[in-house]
Structures are given as C-alpha cells and as structure tokens.
Chain A
Amino acid sequence: MVTLNDYLFVSGLLFAIGFAGVLLRRNILIIFMGLELMLNAANLSLIAFSRFNVQNGVPDYNAQVLVFFIITVAAAEVAVGLGVIVALYRARQTTHVEDLNALKF
C-alpha cells in the first residue's frame, strides 16, 4: 500500500539531492540543475497532497493549477538564468563559481 508519506519522503529526498548539488558542485550549470530538482521536489509533494485531499470524489485541482504555474515560471526562469550564464561566460570565459569571486571587474 502506497501512502502519502512515501511520496513526501521521495520528495524530501529529491529536494535533499538538489540541495546537495547546489552546495557541493562548483559548475554553475550543475548548480542550476540542482535548483530544477528542488523545484520538482516541491511539485511532487503538491501533487501528492492534491491526490490526498479528495473532495466529492475528485482530487483537489487547485494544487495542480499551482503546479502548472510553477512549471511555467520555472521554464521562464531557466531561460533567463541560462541567458545570464551565457553573458557571464562571454565576459569571463568560465563557469566555475570559484573563479567568479569579484563583485565588479
């Protein structure tokens, strides 16, 4: 029997993995992928709660609409972030966060 806790646990683990990626990696693209993993972990727990909160025989669709909005905003955020990374690479020829330690150059 699969319960809500199983989904929440997977979601928490996924968030922790993304968090580890953000903390431990030094390539800025991989840090970005970790951010995506964390967003998706939040989406998974929202969908699980939506399925758990059944009213009148149908799941709670407010949560799924929220997930829809999150996915849209995340796609826009990925586009902007990758644009920033490309601009950064053209200016500094690196994607390592340790080489990017100056606020102004």
Chain B
Amino acid sequence: MLIFACMVVVNRNPIACALSLVISFLGLASLYFSLGAFFIGVIQILVYAGAVMVLFLFIIMVLDLRAEARRRLNWLAFFGGVVVLTLFLKVIFDVSYGFLGGTVAFPAVTNPPHSDAWYIGLTLFQQYKLPLQVVGALVLVASIGVVLLSKRELK
C-alpha cells in the first residue's frame, strides 16, 4: 500500500498516478478489514476506489493531460519541502515511539451479538441524527455547486 502511495507521488504520468492511488486505497481497505471495520472498508472501496477514482480518471480524460514534462527544479522550494518533510517524519517517529500505550496488544473483541454495520447504523441514527442531515445538505449543496460551476460561461 505504501509503495503504491509513493508511486502516486513519484510517477510522471497522471493516469499511472490515479491507478496507483486505486491500489493504495484497496490496500487501505484491507487494513480496515484487518481492524474489524468491515462496513468502513466496504464504504472505502465503493466511494474511493469506485466513485472518486472514476471522477479523477474522467477529469484526466477530459483535460487530455500528457505526462508531465521535466521542468527546471525550483531548488529553494525543493529544499524547503525536504526540510519540512524531515522534521515531520521526526515528529512522527518521536510520537509513535514515545507512546507506550500503543505497544500493548489490541484488547479482544468478545464476540459481539450483532454485525458492525448494525452498530454503526445504531450510532449514526440515534446519536448523530443532526450531523447526518447536515452532511446530506452539504452533499446537496456541493452537487448543485458543481453543476453551476461547470455550466457557467467563463468570460
């Protein structure tokens, strides 16, 4: 999964980037399955590896993007990026090795009586009724906004 995530960044051809991103998302979904989050894993495959990736490939097709030409590297920006990344990785190492609570094994899940989609549905529709409706409104507004954005004549 991480290898394909690297290939997203390294590849020069946008289509190869998008396809590596699909494989990376599928690997992430398998990690979700290994953590017992089956519903979220299936949602991940459907939404990301399905819908979002079709959208990306469609946009690449519409825009007719070629492989990126090699350009003069902006050395200042490059070194700035490398420095920021190194510091960031050091923070990750420090935090994950200083976090001793993470070194014990996962506590056992003792044979729950229902499937995990049952529990998510219960939490979603009992505790998070209002956020669910707000998210629904957000998706509606987003879809209307995209239609407006792509229909409007630009100059």
Contacts and interface: CB of A to CB of B under 8 A. Distances in A.
A47 B35 contact: yes
Contacts of A8: 95-96, 99, 102
Contact of B8 (A30, A52, A59, A68): A30
Contacts of A84: 149
A58 B48 CA distance: 27
Interface of A: 1-5, 7-10, 12-21, 23-27, 29-30, 32-34, 36-37, 40, 43-44, 47-48, 50-52, 54, 57-59, 61-62, 64-65, 67-69, 71-80, 82-87, 89-91, 95, 98
Contacts of A34: 8-9
B8 A37 contact: yes
Interface in B104-120: 104-112, 116, 119-120
9 contacts: A8-B99, A14-B2, A29-B14, A32-B56, A33-B18, A37-B8, A51-B35, A54-B109, A71-B43
B28 A44 contact: yes
A72 B106 contact: no
Contacts, number: 228
Nearest to A30: B17
Nearest to A25: B9
A76 B118 CA distance: 25
Contact of B63 (A14, A80, A83, A89): A89
B92 A12 contact: yes
B107 A54 contact: yes
A24 B81 contact: yes
Given A23-B77, A33-B17, A76-B143, 10 more contacts: A3-B106, A29-B14, A52-B102, A67-B37, A69-B135, A76-B139, A79-B142, A80-B142, A80-B149, A86-B63
Contacts of B97: 5
A68 B124 contact: yes
B145 A80 contact: yes
Given A40-B48, A61-B123, A65-B128, A10 B2 contact: yes
A76 B47 CA distance: 11
B14 A27 contact: yes
Contacts of B60: 29
A82 B8 contact: no
A4 B106 contact: yes
A3 B97 CA distance: 12
